[in-house]
Amino acid sequence: MAHAHMPQQAPTPLPSPASAEQATLIGTLFHLWPFIWPGDRADLKMRVVWSVVLLLVAKLATLAVPFTFKWATDALTGKGSAPLDPSSWMVWVIASPLLMTASYGGMRILMAVLTQWRDGIFARVAMHAVRKLAQITFVHMHELSLRFHLERKTGGLTRVLERGRNGIETIVRMVILQLIPTVVEVSLLLGVLLWHFDWRYVLAIAVMVAIYMYYTYRATEWRIGIRRNMNESDTDANTKAIDSLLNYETVKYFGAETREARRYDRSMARYEEASVNAYTSLALLNTGQAVIFTFGLTATMVMCALGVRSGRNTVGDFVLINAMMIQLYQPLNFMGMVYREIKQAIIDIEKMFEVLARDPEIKDAPDAGPLSVTSGAIRFDDVRFAYEAERPILKGLSFEVPAGKRVAIVGPSGAGKSTISRLLFRLYDVSGGSITIDGQDIRGVTQASLRAAIGMVPQDTVLFNDTIRYNIRYGRWDASDADVEEAARLAQIDSLIRMAPRGYETQVGERGLKLSGGEKQRVAIARTVLKAPPILVLDEATSALDSHTEHEIQEALDRVSRNRTSLVIAHRLSTIVSADEIIVLDQGRIAERGTHVALLARGGLYASMWNRQREAEAARERLAQVDDGNDAPNREPPPVADGLAAQAAAE
């Protein structure tokens, strides 16, 4: 059965700075621009154009608001300042208090409607950019090596993605919907003040704006460290919560609820302190901004008041300057807020930039082509590998898995057995030597084609928090329901699934915690059966099963392995007695190799391991017989098994 993949379009890579510390607004906007102005989306480009048009019209309406207020005031006081012909209809219009008051209200409505219309049109552009960038980051996280993910905490990594996504949305919205409109409005207001009043007003406002922005800059820079501490403490608390909840059963086993609560509370206490500092510093920033602006407002109004007394200005001009300054306060206040939010957003996406700047350890070669599997023969040639340079794991490993044959790898814990499967899957690259499939070095083929050709049943099966059908279908996404159920039947789990009230639609819970260990392992076997790969890797696939269950599904595994090249990493030696060859590892080297019978006859490491396991199994059987004899007269009915049977009983 061929393995099919859903078509997936590779997202455009996002260039990122060499270091998160170098992230700036200009650099961030440079990276965001292709997503705000996407070359393949003419509809989004038109939305950007219309947003700019509406922005300009809205700002002209905004400028008209204080003038209608001035004309209404002058009309009420019986004075006017418009240099027009007294017989002109414009004089009559401006001299009408009711009409000017109505115009004032109409302009405010027009300003609000145009502004909200612009925001609504641009929303799709902003959220498209957020979505594409979040997708790129998500895909990039999957491209990073297993080493990277083992070094990171899942909760912290998801927090990086969440904060970065929110930070990108903040930057797009703040710059396009706040910063640019504010710059336009402030520029127009200064021009109007110079035209209608004189240079002294512009100078007073320019000085006020300069002091205001300088204060905002210095105060915001001071708050950056406080904000970073708050983010770090928040991430730490979130990570500890997720870590504890994922290990729910372990916490219960050791009665550690109180200890976990104290551990979480210590993190929340640090977050509480950092948050208080953040809010206190924000209050100081807002207070300083209000004081500086009030000085500028007072200075301009004093100048206009003197002008009214001397007859140069009307009461309407006094109202006008007040209205314009109050109107200036909103965008000016936005300037401070925009700067703060953008700086904080850049802090929030620092970690995302670090992730994006990190090159994947495992990459396809520039000339990599798809793996061509003709027979499925695997060869390890003088393979050397170390997770850390000073601690080598594999030391010159050479062996072959012939096409259609079954080779088992056994050995003491830490001998490097599971490392072999990780290298074959190219989760890591070899430090020396080579691994080939049908003569093709796996470093020279695409990772997608390599992994499509290999089926894996891992030692530790982790399921998605979805239905059983979803988890089995993960092996081959285009499989029909009948194919999914046939795979489950071959994995000896179909009858158990049908016992559950919801059958294949049964939810398995976080990491599959609603299923027993054996049931999770069978689901893993079923989805590998559904994938139907030419090469099969069983990494201690029956380790989670009891002896009875192991015998039940060993036949299924043998059936699945038939006519496939199979590499079996085994802990229970009883599961690999029929292997074509058994390779015994010891400290990263091949200590022995041969068939089960030949290795027992040799009386070496394999024979010693076999005898120890047989003695342990015999001891368990004797102990079980003694327990059965002692408990027979008063034996209680056995408890309902966990997993699907327990769910059926509960229903």
325-352 pLDDT, tens per residue? 887 777 777 666 677 678 777 777 677 7
Percentage of the chain exceeding pLDDT 90: 8
Its pTM surpasses 0.85: no
Res. 85: pLDDT tops 80: no
**Tokens of residue 340, six digits:** 């703060």
pLDDT value, residue 11: 40
Res. 18: pLDDT tops 50: no
Res. 435: pLDDT tops 90: yes
Tell me the pLDDT band of 524, cut-offs 50, 70 and 90: confident
Q: Which fold would CATH assign to domain 370-453+535-615?
A: Rossmann fold (3.40.50)
At position 154, the amino acid (one-letter code) is: T
User: In the chain, what is the greatest distance between 2 CA atoms, to the nearest angstrom?
Assistant: 123
Tell me the pLDDT band of 126, cut-offs 50, 70 and 90: confident
Rounded-to-integer distance, Cα 361 and Cα 15, Å: 17
**Tokens of residue 596, six digits:** 């089960």
| Secondary structure of 561-576 in HEC code, one letter for each residue | HCCCEEEEECCCHHHH
Q: Which among 462, 528, 456, 450 has a CA at the least distance from the CA of 493?
A: 528
Query: Higher model confidence: residue 22 or residue 172?
Result: 172
Q: Where are the domains of the chain?
A: 20-357, 370-453+535-615, 462-532
Domains 370-453+535-615 and 462-532 share a fold: yes
Res. 495: pLDDT tops 50: yes
Non-local (6+) Cβ contacts of 36 within 8 A are 48, 125, 126, 129, 172, 176
**Tokens of residue 145, six digits:** 């090596």
pLDDT value, residue 384: 92
Rounded-to-integer distance, Cα 334 and Cα 181, Å: 10
Across residues 359-371, what is the average pLDDT? Answer: 85
Res. 141: pLDDT tops 70: yes
Q: Which among 437, 389, 623 has a CA at the least distance from the CA of 533?
A: 437
**Tokens of residue 483, six digits:** 């194919």
Of 41-50, 62-71, 216-225, which has the strongest mean pLDDT?
41-50
Tell me the pLDDT band of 8, cut-offs 50, 70 and 90: very low
Ranges 173-182, 295-304, 359-368, 387-396: which has the least confidence: 173-182
The DSSP output letter for 399 is E
**Tokens of residue 134, six digits:** 């979040």
Tell me the pLDDT band of 445, cut-offs 50, 70 and 90: very high
Residue 465's φ and ψ, nearest 5 degrees, are: -75, 75
pLDDT digits (tens, 9 = 90+) for 148-188: 766 665 556 777 777 777 887 788 777 777 777 777 777 87
pLDDT value, residue 630: 57
Mean pLDDT score of the chain, rounded to an integer? 78
pLDDT digits (tens, 9 = 90+) for 394-419: 888 999 999 888 899 988 877 788 88
End-to-end C-alpha distance for the chain, whole angstroms: 37
Res. 430: pLDDT tops 60: yes
Res. 204: pLDDT tops 80: yes
Res. 42: pLDDT tops 60: yes
User: Residue 577, class by beta-carbon neighbours within 10 Å (0-12 exposed, 13-18 middle, 19+ buried)?
Assistant: middle
Res. 644: pLDDT tops 60: yes
Res. 497: pLDDT tops 80: yes
Rounded-to-integer distance, Cα 27 and Cα 220, Å: 19
Rounded-to-integer distance, Cα 18 and Cα 356, Å: 10
Q: Which CATH class is domain 20-357?
A: mainly alpha
Rounded-to-integer distance, Cα 170 and Cα 29, Å: 12
Q: Which among 582, 252, 277, 259 has a CA at the least distance from the CA of 409?
A: 582
Query: On the CB side of 600, how many CA atoms lie within 13 Å of its CA?
Result: 10
Query: On the CB side of 272, how many CA atoms lie within 13 Å of its CA?
Result: 6
pLDDT digits (tens, 9 = 90+) for 237-268: 888 888 888 788 778 877 888 888 888 888 88
| Secondary structure of 165-184 in HEC code, one letter for each residue | HHHHHHHHHHHHHHHHHHHH
Please answer whether residues 17 and 142 qualify as being in contact, where contact means their C-beta atoms are separated by less than 8 angstroms: no
Query: Higher model confidence: residue 64 or residue 439?
Result: 439
pLDDT digits (tens, 9 = 90+) for 104-117: 778 888 888 888 89
Locate all alpha helices (DSSP H) within 144-256, ordered by sequence.
146-151, 154-174, 180-196, 199-246, 248-253
Res. 518: pLDDT tops 70: yes
pLDDT value, residue 649: 53
Please answer whether residues 574 and 554 qualify as being in contact, where contact means their C-beta atoms are separated by less than 8 angstroms: no
Rounded-to-integer distance, Cα 465 and Cα 155, Å: 16
**Residue holding tokens 């905002």?**
216
Residue 34 β-bridge partners: none
pLDDT value, residue 383: 92
β-pair type (565-569, 535-539): parallel
Rounded-to-integer distance, Cα 649 and Cα 651, Å: 5
For the chain, state the CA radius of gyration.
Answer: 36
Query: On the CB side of 98, how many CA atoms lie within 13 Å of its CA?
Result: 0
- C-alpha torsion sign, points 323, 327, 330, 336: negative
Classify domain 462-532 by CATH architecture. 3-Layer(aba) Sandwich (3.40)
Residues 541-555: b if buried by 16+ CB within 10 A, e if exposed: bbbbbeeebbeebbe
Rounded-to-integer distance, Cα 422 and Cα 430, Å: 10
Query: On the CB side of 362, how many CA atoms lie within 13 Å of its CA?
Result: 26
Res. 84: pLDDT tops 60: no
Distance of alpha carbon 253 from its chain centroid, rounded? 31
Residue 456 β-bridge partners: 537
Tell me the pLDDT band of 381, cut-offs 50, 70 and 90: very high
